[in-house]
Structure formats: C-alpha cells, structure tokens
Structure 1
Amino acid sequence: MVEKCRQETMVRIVKWEKPCQPLLKLNTDGSALSNPGQIGGGGILRDHLGRMIYAFAIPLGTGTNNQAELQAASHGIFWCIQHGYKKIHLEVDSKLVIKWLSKQLTLPWNLQQYIRELQHLVQ
C-alpha cells in the first residue's frame, strides 16, 4: 500500500505584479510548524514601482495555519492604517482566506474573531 502512494509535484511560474498607481500592494503570508502549533506571519508593502515601503516577520503564538494567514494580513493592514496608507491592494496566497473575506464560504467559528478584525480594519 505504501509503495502505491505518490506525491505529485507541480512547477508553476509565479510573478509579482505591480499595483496600479496610486495603490500600494501588501503581500502577506502565515505559517504553522504543526497544525495547530507555533505560528508566525510576514509581509511586504511595495509601491507601484516595486519599491519596498515596509516588511515584517512576526511570531503569533500558537494556532493554526489559517489563523496565521489571517493575523499576518491584519498586522499588515493595521500597520498601513497607522502610517497613513489607505489605498492598499491586499494579496494573500490562501484561497480559503480569499473566500472567507469575499463571503463565498462560511467561516469556521474558531476563526471568526480574526476575520472580523480584518474586515473592521479594511472598512
């Protein structure tokens, strides 16, 4: 049975695209060492020329990978607001987070506080 198991690998070119002026682009990501486990997040804010404005990497305690994704996005948006940046294009790599933010999927109860915080910041 073990011999029949395979892991498929797919290679895909990923290219960062500049935001349209006057927008800034905030790319964030979160990760977990186990799920649940120790989590952390990071991100980078760039202008329409690709110049870095802000970058961060933060420990987020214990939680799930989805929690880390949401908290990393919240941290980045919060920093932008604190520093007067309001025209932000948020880009995340989690399809679940995108579907939760766009209300295409029902959010699990244990992550509702994190999505509410992010939605509040965006407003």
Structure 2
Amino acid sequence: MVVHWLHPTKGYKLNVDGSSIFNPGPTGSGEILHGLQGEVIFGFSKSFGFKTSLEVEAEGLLFCQHQHVLNIQVEMDSLVLLNIVQDRTPIPWQLYSIIIETRFSLSSLHALLVHVYRQANMVADLLASKGSSNIDLNLLLLI
C-alpha cells in the first residue's frame, strides 16, 4: 500500500504530531499548515518539556485556535488521541482540561479531525522529533 500526503480538499490542512524521547520524557510538537494548493503557510517544532507524547500532541491541536484558522482539516497519526477527542474513548484524567478545551476550539473553528498513517504525516513527525530534542524551529509564515 502506497501512502502519501494529499492536498486539502477545501480550506486549510494542518498536520500535527507529538514526540516523546521517553514516555513520559522530553517532548516536542510539530505542526505544518498548508493552503488549498498545498503551499506551506507555517510550520514549526516546539519543545514542551517533560510530558507524555499524548499530552504534547493534544496541546499541539490548540495551534489552530491561536492562529484563528477556520475551515481546517487536521491530520494526525495518533488514533488514540483522535478517539479521545471525538469522544469514542474516555478522557484520561491527566488530559481532561486540554481535551475539553480542544473539543471546544475545534468545534468553533469548524475543524475536521482525520487520522492518517505516519507516512502521510512525515513532516510533522520530523518537526516533533526536533522539538523533543529541544530544537524549536519556525519554518515560514505566509499569512
């Protein structure tokens, strides 16, 4: 099976990933935002300190809220987190407040959350790995 990244069908597409050297341990988040034609609008890696990969990936989902990006498709390779955010799995107590905030944020931004294989999320995965290595990067800002 060949897996690759696809352009957004409408609006914007955010690929997000979290990384943890140990779990819990030093963590990082990677996000990359694409426009309708697939152009990179913004990308970054950020170190989040000592957490679990699930915690940091949940925090990464709040990126859309802070950028006020509407009509966005959010792709992630964590099926566990996707199921938690979509209320298919109970919220772990450590993530309760961030998940409630994330649900509200994604709803108000008309965001669609989608699971993708890691191969379709490679850039966000690489950025998250940089973040967990304590490397904060800002790639580009076009908006």
Structure 2 length-normalised TM? 0.70
Higher relative contact order (CA 8 A, sep 6+): 2
1:40–1:72 CA contact under 8 A, matched in 2: no
Equivalent residue for 1:77?
A: 64
Unaligned runs of 5+ in 1: 1-11
Cα distance between partner residues in 2 of 1:97 and 1:65 = 10
1:15 equivalenced with 2:11 (yes/no): no
CA RMSD of aligned residues (A): 1.3
Q: How does 1:1-123 map to 2 (within 5 A)?
A: 13-21=2-10, 23-74=11-62, 76-81=63-68, 85-122=69-106, 123=108
For the pair shown, the structure with the greater C-alpha radius of gyration is 1
Q: Which runs of 4+ in 1 moved over 6 A?
A: none
1:120 shift after superposition? 2.4
Cα distance between partner residues in 2 of 1:42 and 1:115 = 18
Unaligned runs of 5+ in 2: 109-143
Percent of paired sites with the same residue: 29
Structure 1 length-normalised TM? 0.80
Give the length in aligned residue pairs. Answer: 107
